[in-house]
Structure 1
Amino acid sequence: MCFLVCDKEETEVGRQQAPGSCPYCGGKVHAVDVGTRWRFCFIPVCFRFKRKYLCSLCCRRLVLYDSWS
Structure 2
Amino acid sequence: MCLVAVCDKQEKVLQTQTAPGECPYCGGKVKAVDVESQWRLCLLPLCFNPKRKFFCNMCNRRLVIYHGEG
Structure 1-normalised TM-score?
0.93
Residue 29 of structure 1 aligns to a residue whose secondary structure is strand
**Please, what TM-score do these two structures have when normalized by structure 2?**
0.92
Aligned structure 1 segments of 4 or more residues deviating by more than 4 angstroms: none
Work out the percentage of aligned pairs sharing the same amino acid. 54
Alignment RMSD: 1.0
Q: What pairs up with 1:18-37 in 2 under 5 angstroms?
A: 18-37=19-38
Counterpart Cα distance in 1 of 2:26 and 2:7:
37
Task: Report how many residues are paired.
Answer: 69
Cα distance per residue 1:7-62 (max 9 Å; x no partner):
00011100000000000000000000000000001100000100000000000000
Which residue does 1:65 correspond to in 2?
66
2:48 alignment partner in structure 1: 47
Write the letter of the residue equivalent to 2:3.
C
* Alpha-carbon distance in 2 for matches of 1:53, 1:7: 23
